[in-house]
């Protein structure tokens, strides 16, 4: 088993992640992890020795139990924020536009339990109409812009710590 790329210090936690944007019939697939109360894009940590493309495919297979294909690389985001444990976070995440290989995957909400290195995580997946994104707590907050545009953005920096 390879190690995820994460670093913890007294001041900051660092994570190297991948995120997937899956859109079907004007709905985007979002997930609430362990009843967090907010939605985010499916994805997870990159492991040492793994490319971001390998990581995003692996994470989606682990989380949805479905094979995916990458349609387009969207960009990378450097994100600085306070997490739910009140820790400063520095996160670098690669974003990919993706689709399920099995194209008959319906836009029906579903719940799965993922065993993530010995920890069970409840994943509540929701297909949200792109026109209704403002009715949901989606994090990080800049995701609305990415979801609505579906465009390559190359490199973005969001620093919520400077507010």
**130, 23 contact by CB (below 8 A):** yes
Residue 147, classed as helix, strand or coil, is helix
Could you say which of 47, 50, 71, 107 is catalytic?
A: 107
Q: Is 107 a catalytic residue?
A: yes
Rounded Cα distance between 94 and 122, Å, is: 23
End-to-end CA distance of the chain: 39
Catalytic residues: 107
């Amino acid at each position: 088993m390879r190690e995820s790329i994460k670093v913890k210090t007294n001041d900051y936690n660092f994570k190297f992640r991948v995120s997937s944007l899956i859109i079907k019939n004007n709905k985007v697939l979002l997930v609430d992890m362990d009843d967090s109360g907010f939605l985010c894009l499916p994805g997870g940590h990159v492991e040492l020795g793994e490319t971001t493309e390998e990581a995003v495919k692996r994470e989606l297979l682990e989380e949805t139990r479905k094979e995916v294909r990458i349609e387009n690389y969207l960009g990378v985001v450097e994100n600085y924020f306070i997490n739910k444990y009140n820790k400063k976070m520095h996160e670098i995440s690669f974003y990919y536009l993706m689709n399920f290989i099995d194209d008959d995957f319906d836009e029906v909400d579903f719940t799965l339990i993922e065993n993530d290195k010995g920890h069970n995580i409840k994943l509540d997946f929701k297909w949200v109409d792109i026109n209704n994104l403002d009715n949901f707590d989606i994090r990080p907050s800049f995701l609305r812009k990415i979801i609505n545009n579906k465009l390559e953005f190359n490199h973005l920096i969001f620093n919520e710590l400077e507010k």
